[in-house]
Structure 1
Amino acid sequence: MGWTFKVHGGVVAGLGATLLALATLTWLPGSLPLTGARRLTAAIFALLFLIFVSALVRLILTGADKRAIWLAFRCLPGKVQLSLGALALWEVVLVIFSTATEGNLQSAEVRDGRYVALDTTPYARGTVMISQSRYQDVLERDLRTMLAIPGVLSLGAAYAVLAAGELRRADGAVVPSDVR
């Protein structure tokens, strides 16, 4: 596998692990300083979009089917497989616990000195006033979701890049049948 695949996969996997760690930290008591950082979230999504698209392009250029991609992933070193598998498991647990504790409130903000949030309960959609503690909970839940989604996408991109690199390596190692 070429060094560009290793660097690309490593950076994307590291970014995914960092985002999942930050999403996990939203469960700690107290408020996080990142809850008001909407520009940071937009920058994460923009950067991840470029990384994810380039990973998919690298995978598409190999021309392999799903089975070959899975077999290429299985040819990666065990530590890499274990790391990506552990991060994927962490992501599944994070999403399950996040959705299990999630309420119907989202997009909390302060309007005229009052805390409001969008209530997404069926047949009762609208803006409702909430307490300051509930406001902090909604902000942290929104932040958890906004960090977990890019984390999941970056793990998928790491899988795609590393599998594409392994496919490229395997294709380069094959000797054509007409050369003897």
Structure 2
Amino acid sequence: MMKASFKVHAGLALALGALSLLASAVTLLPGESVLKGGGLLLAIEFALLFPLFLATLVRGIALEAGGVRLRNELPWRALRCLPIAVRCVLVVIFSTGVALTASSMLAGTSQQAGEAKGGRYYAIQVDSPTRERVEVSKREYDDLLKKDRRAMHAITSMLATGAATMTLIIGQLHPTTGHYLPSPRLDMPA
């Protein structure tokens, strides 16, 4: 049975992934952005993601140091031992994040939101070798800003969901008795 700390850790990472995904999806709404101060929200997301990701990394290293190798098919077997509802939530959040990132990347523009200064709005030409700055309308600037933030929120969502998935796999394989004993479900043939 998985320790509660792994479930809490994975739950926090998954909640962050879902929140980031929601923030990304909100950028698809027409009109002015609903999320005011979106840069601050991104900063908060990354600030929360860092310790969750670091804890996952430390747990993985500790598991490897204990003799469990996270290679080959063992992680896949551990993942299959998770309840189907959990696996479905992980897949839905991750694949929706991929779709939102792709929609942002394939938006058909070669510009990124630059800066707003003194009532003037600027975009950066990303296909130019000098990455020159061009003036754009407020509406174009807002659309570019939403597109950029959509990708960033979706990427944060995918990273958090990846951390949740790895935490659940590590928790499934973690020795609860002081030495590694695979659960009977892990030893079933594939």
Q: TM-score band (shorter)?
A: 0.7 to 0.9
Cα deviation digits, residues 21-63 of structure 1 (max 9, x gap): 2101101111124253323322221221111111121122211
Structure 1: give runs of 5+ residues left out of the alignment: 175-180
Structure 2 residue 70 is matched with structure 1 residue 65: yes
Q: Which residue of 1 aligns with 2:131?
A: 125
Q: Equivalent residue of 2:174, what SS?
A: helix
CA RMSD of aligned residues (A): 1.9
**Structure with the higher fraction of residues in helix conformation:** 1
**Aligned residue among 154, 157, 167 for 1:148:** 154
Cα deviation digits, residues 84-137 of structure 1 (max 9, x gap): 111122122212222111522113321232111111123452110001110110
Q: Which residue of 2 aligns with 1:162?
A: 168
Residue pairs, 1:26-175, within 5 angstroms: 26-63=27-64, 64-66=69-71, 67-123=73-129, 125-168=131-174, 171-172=180-181
Contact kept? 2:17, 2:158, Cα under 8 Å: yes
Matching residue's letter, 1:148: A
Cα deviation digits, residues 112-164 of structure 1 (max 9, x gap): 32111111123452110001110110110121122112111100100111001
Structure 2: give runs of 5+ residues left out of the alignment: 184-190
Separation in 2 of the partners of 1:102 and 1:21?
23
Could you list the structure 1 runs, at least 4 aligned residues long, displaced by more than 4 angstroms after superposition: none
Q: Equivalent residue of 1:95, what SS?
A: helix
Contact kept? 2:78, 2:173, Cα under 8 Å: yes
Separation in 2 of the partners of 1:149 and 1:102?
19
Contact kept? 1:20, 1:91, Cα under 8 Å: yes
Separation in 1 of the partners of 2:78 and 2:130?
49
Contact kept? 2:100, 2:151, Cα under 8 Å: no
Contact kept? 2:105, 2:151, Cα under 8 Å: no
Separation in 1 of the partners of 2:43 and 2:62?
29
Contact kept? 2:25, 2:150, Cα under 8 Å: yes
TM-score normalised by L of structure 1: 0.88
Q: Which residue of 2 aligns with 1:18?
A: 19
* Count of residue pairs the alignment pairs up: 174
TM-score normalised by L of structure 2: 0.83
CA 1:8 to 1:57, structure 2 compared with 1: closer, same or farther past 3 Å? Answer: same
